[in-house]
A and B are shown apart, each in its own frame.
Chain A
Amino acid sequence: MVGFVPTIHVFLSNAQVVDARHRAEHDAAEHWTRTMLEIRNLVVKIADEDKQILNGLNLTVNDGEVAAIMGPNGSGKSTLSYVIAGKEDYEVLDGEILLNGENVLEMEADQRAAAGIFLAFQYPLEIPGVATMTFLKAAMNAQRKARGEDELLTPDFIKAVNSAADKLGIAKDMLRRPLNVGFSGGEKKRMEILQMALLSPSMCILDETDSGLDIDALRIVAEGVNALRAKNRSFLVITHYQRLLDHIVPDTVHVMSNGRIVKTGGKELALELEKSGYASYGEAA
């Protein structure tokens, strides 16, 4: 999997773009400890319901860090990913989410995307009647427009898509079909990673990306993600099982329970959880 990041980089420089989100990269004084995402005391409930899902969650993800969030079903993992991405079904009662120091909660979902947040969905949606290629181009151009950049030139776009698709084993005819319509579970997940590669986000959230994948598909997807690892790009990998973390090795592992981060450790924490289960982080946590 060499060349994934360089290709994207070349493609961006071809298009004469200096990505606003990556300006920090050019600072000579760049340090590992710069914060990408900071969540403070986040309290969230489902809109129109009394059910509170996140209960004062704190989380920090540094530049270039791959952080895993593990936890039992119903601990609020998916809710966290939706709230960061800006889904409207939730109401934030307290706390804040900062991306590169900017208040994310004040932005619409599309503005958050343009600011660099990418969510790989657990269940990617089907977009009928819109060829995958058309969708990709519209999305890339919409983000560029939001950042005040010029539209992509078609040849540059096609080159970038073909190159990224090849690496993920996505057939050309799939790119002509309506996005995700009739795609298998594995194809949909690969398509998510393709979009992640093309949109070049700074904060990638993977929501249960391993669910429904067989071991070969899991490997392809994980390799796609690993190729995108960079010092100016962070990952939040949400998963229930350890096995994804064999392929995408995290820097940190957070255990989530009852809408809060209850334990933080290194990658060995995931292995511990695999043995002992989540029972000790249950209701009492």
Chain B
Amino acid sequence: MAAVQETIDQVKSIDVTEYKYGFVTELEVEKPAKGLTEDTVRYISARKNEPEWMLEWRLDAFRRWKTMTEPTWSRVNYPPIDYQDLYYYAAPKKGASPKSLDEVDPAIVATYEKLGIPLREQEILAGVAPENRVAVDAVFDSVSVVTTFKEELAKAGVIFCSISEAIQEHPELVKKYLATVVPVTDNYFATLNSAVFTDGSFVYVPKGVRCPMELSTYFRINEQNTGQFERTLIIADEGAYVSYLEGCTAPKRDENQLHAAVVELIALDDAEIKYSTVQNWFPGDAEGKGGIYNFVTKRGDCRGKNSKISWTQVETGSAITWKYPSCILRGDGSRGEFYSIAVSNGMQQVDSGTKMLHLGKNTTSKIIAKGIAAGKSDSTYRGMVSAHRKATGARNFTNCDSLLIGDQCGAHTIPYIEAKTATAIFEHEATTSKIGEDQLFYCLQRGLSEEEAVALIVNGFVKEVLQQLPMEFAVEAQKLITISLEGSVG
């Protein structure tokens, strides 16, 4: 059929025309030899000028990792990864460990500008109301190149810096909280990350402080054959509040790149952390060549009473997404939320979801997951909701909806529900719907163009989740979803 053929052609052309972040920045780069040995771990630690305890911690993780095997339970397929054929560290030579933005290689500053992320504070200040300001930590391959508004944040007592800097400047906080949510041996990729993590953000919001602006980290993988091992740690002390957003892009490359991150969130009594992700890694081309393997462990610990952690994610990129941002609801009365939009097109594979582990009394959680699959992609929601026997009065509401566009994609929902107390109330709702050629013809017959019809249906489908994102990002995310689905139907 003409329409189907057109679909196929358009999907084929997607990576070429639509992934506008696919450019490469040419830089002189410092990196160790390919491969992963104890020496690689020592190299990274030395480059970061780390104290001895940190090196020992890494080496311990590395030794454990060597005894582990890669998990195979997820619904994704990829050829075996040769961990000895990767670079584990890459840093721009020029202006290594810059003291200020002036020392950063202008090519990198230009890269972020091209990505729409201004790094010069005066540029951000111009034309932006104070309440709309966003502080940015820019991570380029293995290093954080700059963190903006640090001083202004410091006035409020908020620490916002790269994790490398935090290890130097705030070792007591790092020692106290690192790996307390995601243990070193939690899973294969988390253990690997513990051994070779390079950079990421560190946030500490002290007691009773409401962080005066949005914080964000922008991850960019530039170098070829290089893994990015992000490590982020966010702590909201008693009664504190912080909203944090991460963005991700990478150049178009023929080979796959690995992004294995660990993100830990800790909310103490009455604290709240809102963590949003707009993930737009290169998804690979129509044949599934290239693209990022996004193997990520994200977990939040509602450690204190009445604390709250919410995850909001808009996932449009990556060749493979393997990611389950979760909440441990430890404190009595604590609350976990997960709002997710996962868009897959072309040959993308997504296995994503969340875990809500109810440990404390009267803990509540809410899961709203929307999966949109187009092209030949495959999308799985995998979630777990459990209540410990002491978690009396635990409540969960889960809603998983899938939207299929065309007839060559797949959507799956795999929920695990486990209640060990009779007082728990768990609800689960799920729907699957499809935009087919007949529906599109119906819309066209009413005068809508194909793009308008798809946008209308998709917007109706994701509205509930987009509302959770900070305003300025919601607009971006909506655009991103539309672009990701362009040419997805005939």
The contact size tier of chain A is: 35 or more
Asked whether A18 is an interface residue with its Cβ less than 8 Å from the other chain, the reply is: no
Asked whether A262 is an interface residue with its Cβ less than 8 Å from the other chain, the reply is: no
- Binary flags per residue of A159-173, CB closer than 8 Å to B gives 1, else 0: 000000000000000
Asked whether B461 is an interface residue with its Cβ less than 8 Å from the other chain, the reply is: yes
A267–B45 CA distance with the chains assembled, in angstroms = 91
Asked whether A14 is an interface residue with its Cβ less than 8 Å from the other chain, the reply is: no
Tell me the chain A residues, 73-89 only, with Cβ under 8 Å from chain B.
85-89
**A142 touching B449 by the CB < 8 A rule?**
yes
Given contacts A110-B447, A124-B442, A199-B446, contact A89 B1 (CB under 8 A): yes
Which chain B residues lie closer than 8 Å to A126 at the CB level? 439
| Residue in A closest to B449 when the chains form the complex, CB atoms | A110
Asked whether A278 is an interface residue with its Cβ less than 8 Å from the other chain, the reply is: no
A178–B450 CA distance with the chains assembled, in angstroms = 19
**Majority secondary structure, A binding face:** mixed
**B447 touching A129 by the CB < 8 A rule?**
no
The contact size tier of chain B is: 20 to 34
Asked whether B441 is an interface residue with its Cβ less than 8 Å from the other chain, the reply is: yes
Asked whether A2 is an interface residue with its Cβ less than 8 Å from the other chain, the reply is: no
Asked whether A128 is an interface residue with its Cβ less than 8 Å from the other chain, the reply is: yes
**B449 touching A113 by the CB < 8 A rule?**
no
Which chain A residues lie closer than 8 Å to B422 at the CB level? none
Tell me the chain A residues, 48-103 only, with Cβ under 8 Å from chain B.
48, 85-89
A134–B433 CA distance with the chains assembled, in angstroms = 18
A87–B1 CA distance with the chains assembled, in angstroms = 11
**A48 touching B1 by the CB < 8 A rule?**
yes
Given contacts A110-B449, A135-B456, A142-B448, contact A47 B439 (CB under 8 A): no
A239–B276 CA distance with the chains assembled, in angstroms = 55
**A146 touching B447 by the CB < 8 A rule?**
yes
**A130 touching B442 by the CB < 8 A rule?**
no
Q: Which one of A119, A121, A130 contacts B456 once the chains associate, using CB atoms below 8 Å?
A: A130
Given contacts A88-B1, A129-B433, contact A109 B441 (CB under 8 A): yes
Which chain B residues lie closer than 8 Å to A178 at the CB level? 460
Given contacts A127-B457, A130-B457, A130-B460, contact A142 B442 (CB under 8 A): no
Asked whether B443 is an interface residue with its Cβ less than 8 Å from the other chain, the reply is: yes
A85–B445 CA distance with the chains assembled, in angstroms = 7
Which chain B residues lie closer than 8 Å to A138 at the CB level? 448, 452, 456
**B441 touching A134 by the CB < 8 A rule?**
no
A90–B101 CA distance with the chains assembled, in angstroms = 62
**A142 touching B452 by the CB < 8 A rule?**
yes
**B1 touching A125 by the CB < 8 A rule?**
no
A127–B452 CA distance with the chains assembled, in angstroms = 13
**B445 touching A143 by the CB < 8 A rule?**
no
**B460 touching A108 by the CB < 8 A rule?**
no
| A110, A134, A135, A199, most chain B CB atoms within 10 A | A110
A252–B182 CA distance with the chains assembled, in angstroms = 77
Given contacts A88-B3, A134-B456, A135-B456, contact A195 B446 (CB under 8 A): yes
Which chain B residues lie closer than 8 Å to A15 at the CB level? none
A118–B437 CA distance with the chains assembled, in angstroms = 18
Instruction: List the interface of chain B (C-beta within 8 A of A).
Output: 1-3, 403, 431, 433, 437-439, 441-450, 452, 456-457, 460-461, 490
What are the 3 tightest A-B residue pairs by CB atom distance, in nearest-first order? A129-B460, A143-B447, A109-B444
Apart from A114-B447, A118-B445, A124-B442: 13 A-B pairs, beta carbons within 8 A: A47-B2, A48-B1, A88-B2, A89-B1, A110-B449, A112-B445, A113-B446, A119-B445, A121-B442, A125-B438, A128-B457, A128-B461, A142-B449
